[in-house]
Structure 1
Amino acid sequence: MSSIAGVGLTTMLASRTISSMRDQLAELQRQLGTGKKSETYGGLGLDSGLVLNMRAQLARTDTFKTTISSVGLRVNLMNTSLQRIGDLRDETRSDLFAPFDYELVSGGQSAAQRSASGRLSEMLTLLNGDAGGRYLFSGRATETPAVDTYANIIEGDGARAGLKQLISERLQADQGADGRGRLVVNPAAGSVVSIQDDPGHPFGFKIAGATSSFGATIAHTLPNLSIDLGAANPPEGGTVRVQFTLPDGSSTAIELTATTTSPPKPNQFLIGATPADTAANITAALDTQIQRFAQTDLAAASAIQAGNEYFATDAANPPLRVDGPPFDTATGLIAGTPANTVSGT
């Protein structure tokens, strides 16, 4: 009986061993098939904490990779945009040195002006570029466009004035009510020609001086300029030249040439029978040229200065506008506000 009991015990132990080995084999096959040591963290024993920590690190690494990829995309887009903006600048600069073509092609603008307008629109679009709903050039304010739209900046937005309105207001202030660039052309007094500007404001022509080729006596005491022909008429071909400073800091000059041919050309004055007659003729010719220059040289400088005062701004230095209406008699500038002026930056 004891022998039979011993055999039974041995058989039972062997069976358990085989069953355990079978379970181990099954577990190893599962691990090989799934690539996992255990289906649960509890099955990892003391290694479970290490695995959880590694999973957290992997998650952070994935987040870093996603962030790096996103930032890399934004940087690449910004770099591409800045390169294109540089190209637009170079193209516009090239146009400035190209032969001028004043033929108007559309909307009262020349081809060069239309091109510059298109490039400005493209540049503003690039500055308002976004990636994944985040504006690229807005700094921390990623949900806010970096600049306003081209239409708003140029045309305005309701009660908020744009560049065109500021240019119009500035032109009125620079040309003045009578279109003479805020100059006063006095009637000739004997042989003396005289004009004056108004130093009390930044608008219009500012007299810079005068010269003559025939020895006229010139006196320039701000704001007055006088040219005294004296007792003798100028010779034919003699010249009078009056220089002006324009609103943008540039300069221009009106030069008149003496002639005996009647009627004289626009840039000439008729030599009269007496110096007084000649002074009256110089005054009339100068007055005509001042009005013509107010429509050309002064108008161009006025638009440039209005653009400077509109675009060369920041949060601490808002756009400057003419203090009006009325604008044609204005004497100063005021700061635009977000309520009445579209920001150009």
Structure 2
Amino acid sequence: MNTTHQLVRLLRRPAGLPTPDDFALVEAPVPEPEDGQVLVRNTHFLVFPGLRTLMGGETRDVPLPPLRPGDTLFGPAIGEVVDGPLEKGRSVLHLQGWREYATPGADACRPLEEVLPDPVAHLAQGSAAYGALTRLAEVREGDTVFVTGAAGAVGTLAGQIARLLGAARVIGSTGSPDKARRLERELGYDAVVLRDGAPIDEQLAQAAPDGIDIVLDTVGGEQLTAAVHAANRGARFALVGALAGQLSPDRAGGSAPTVLDTYRLLTRGITIAGYNGMDHPDVEAEWETRFGDWLRAGEIRFPYTAIQGMRQAPEALPRLIAGRSFGAAIVEL
């Protein structure tokens, strides 16, 4: 086994959106596991936009610790047990990504069963979308569903989930014509509105002439504003992200103000609720079972953009923020 490994540390708090210069790829000794810890050789880890909030210093109500200069980045990772109280060679899921070797506590490791056909699929971000569409918005047969940020880690799965739950028409939003084509050709979206195209109100009126019944919102901002205008009576809005705030150069990632027409909310009986997985502890296992069944049946795809190796890892978050990923962004070691 190697005696050293590579990891990514935060060099400084970004001034605006993070750049590769805000991170350092560091060589360090492979850590020795302490009592109760497991030595894991990571094989994949997830790049997620919430890191922007953690390093921006606005972590109120966030169940993860802030990132300060000198800290190693972290996040969901998959690896193989090398040493410790768990079975050697076993694949586990834990939260010490952004390094080649990790030492999570055994109680912080989840041994991976064969519920999903590919271990990497455990990094999919579909649980929140599934929970929101079954617990908050509750898709009904024939619904028209609008998914904002449809080309992201949540959105690429959300549209497929909505269809599998009975939606008749699924509309997405994205900022790239190329991504819009992929959403329609590969993931079954019926129409896609472009963030930088004509006014979103106009695009939604054309894409959903009969209005929208459900909104699965990962963005906020003007897209959420426009969705209220296009909503049918009794529409259900489920909020699962706030990328408009997290990816804004003028904010630190802990706020995302949006203008909503409260008159329309009242007169159309629209409901809006934020989804928090901790409020629905039964969702994760249910989602995983259904996700595995859908994957095996070829009814759903798990799209992700692979970043190869630790050398490219310092660029991974800036690439994600710049919109250079389709689906989840995963570093492969």
Per the normalisation by structure 2, the TM-score is: 0.23
Q: Which has the higher contact order (CA 8 A, sep 6+)?
A: 2
Higher share in strand: 2
Larger radius of gyration: 1
More helix by share: 1
